[in-house]
Amino acid sequence: DTEVTQTPKHLVMGMTNKKSLKCEQHMGHRAMYWYKQKAKKPPELMFVYSYEKLSINESVPSRFSPECPNSSLLNLHLHALQPEDSALYLCASSQLAGGTGELFFGEGSRLTVL
């Protein structure tokens, strides 16, 4: 299994809503990532978890709250978002020891904030 699965594929939410994006991988990877990608822009790193601990937070606003319940799952909790947060949110995973550190990406969750 070389897949990273993200749900939902599409999400529309209001600025007062609370929602969550989910990501799952079963490759035994111990690093998991959230990236944000706006149209015609490269993916921007948001968070990195290493061995289920938050290791990198790229100064992301607190309305985005990551969670790593176990080594296979990664969530991104969303609350009080702004319309400018509308984007494609990509989850990725990689090996931490051995390998090349290649990122395996999910298909993404396309978020629209109204």
Partner 1 sequence: GQNIDQPTEMTATEGAIVQINCTYQTSGFNGLFWYQQHAGEAPTFLSYNVLDGLEEKGRFSSFLSRSKGYSYLLLKELQMKDSGSYLCAVLSGGYQKVTFGIGTKLQVIP
**What does the per-residue mask of binding to partner 1 show for 60-99, with x meaning CB under 8 A?**
------------------------------x---xxxx-x
Which ranges constitute the DSSP H helices of the chain? none
Contact 47, 62 (CB under 8 A): no
- Residue 25 or 94: which CB sits closer to partner 1? 94
Determine if 56 is a binding residue for partner 1 (CB under 8 A).
yes
Question: Residue 94: which of 27, 23, 21, 22 has the closest Cα?
Answer: 27
Per CB under 8 A, does 54 bind partner 1?
A: no
Beta carbon of residue 15, minimum distance to partner 1 (angstroms, whole number): 25
As measured in angstroms, the least distance from the Cβ of 42 to partner 1 is 4
Asked if 38 is part of the footprint of partner 1 (rule: CB under 8 A), the reply reads no
Residue 104: CA count within 13 A, CB half-sphere: 22
DSSP bridge pairs for 49: 32, 54
Q: First and final CA of the chain: distance in angstroms? A: 36
Give contact residues for partner 1 (rule: CB under 8 A).
31, 33, 41-45, 48, 50, 55-56, 90, 94-97, 99-108
